[in-house]
Amino acid sequence: AMAEAAARGRLLRWPRVLLLGDSITEHSFQENGWGAYLADRLVRKCDVVNHGVSGYNTRWAKLILPRLITGSANADSIVAVTIFFGANDSALKDLNPKQHVPLEEYAANLKSMIQYLKSVDVTEDRIILITPPPLQESAWEKACLAKGDKLNRCNATTGQYAQACVQVARECGTDVLDLWTLMQKNQDFSSYLSDGLHLSAKGSSFLAAQLWSRLDEKLSALPSLLPYWRDVDHTNPEASLL
């Protein structure tokens, strides 16, 4: 029967949502994570693929992107991509030269990632940029001191990167989720962060809800894959399933 299905060329292709980003994306499949929430909401409609790489900035991400997504054959099933960088790029140059990327280069890198995606037929209407979240300096300073480091980021600087991210989205015609601004609307944003930098369960569910409102519009029309089990003809399952 498998040969039969293959012969008919009926390969069942699950559409894909790709999550690109740093540790905040890499950790998003943890319990109560925002990626796990999306995967659960989209089960049987889409594969949610986590390509988050902890500690990475846009300079490194731009280099690996063509290795993650190649020519159109691979891209035609991609229904949405999130690009969520800036928490590392915005690290202070003097205190964290390894991860820091200058503001102008950060913007240029985001643009070139969007350009690359468009070159493999992932159009701008399927791309969502996410700004870095705000930084809670006292909590992050504690985390730095515990590793023998000085405070190596500051919220005002992160805000400049968030602004640049919003600007790139405007210029390139992609969607954007300005997490930096949204999280600070509620005066005290510390509960959204686990250590001043990474998201807590509350921050994760905040991001998930914000993202879902944007993805739901894009993906609501996607069918549920494979028939509901009660609708399968049990006397002749091939008729329903192949």
Q: Which of 23, 190, 191, 205 is catalytic?
A: 23
Nearest residue to 204 (alpha-carbon basis) of 174, 178, 183: 183
Q: In what order do the strands lie in the sheet with 78-84?
A: 47-52, 16-21, 78-84, 127-130, 175-177
Give pTM, 2 decimals: 0.92
Active site residue 23: yes
Where are the chain's structural domains? 14-215
pLDDT-based confidence at 113, cuts 50/70/90?
very high
- For the stretch 31-74, pLDDT in tens is 999 999 999 999 999 999 999 999 999 999 999 999 998 876 66
Active site residue 149: no
Domain 14-215 has CATH 3.40.50.1110: yes
Active site residue 200: no
Paired tokens of 117: 């995606």
CB 152 within 8 A of CB 144: yes
Q: Which of 121, 195, 200, 205 is catalytic?
A: 195
Integer angstrom CA distances of residue 50 from 55, 96, 144: 15, 26, 27
Residue 71 exposure: Cα atoms within 13 Å on the Cβ side: 1
DSSP 21: E
Q: Which of 90, 100, 175, 198 is catalytic?
A: 198
The long-range contacts involving 97-100, CB below 8 angstroms and separated by at least 24 positions, are 99/55, 99/57, 100/57
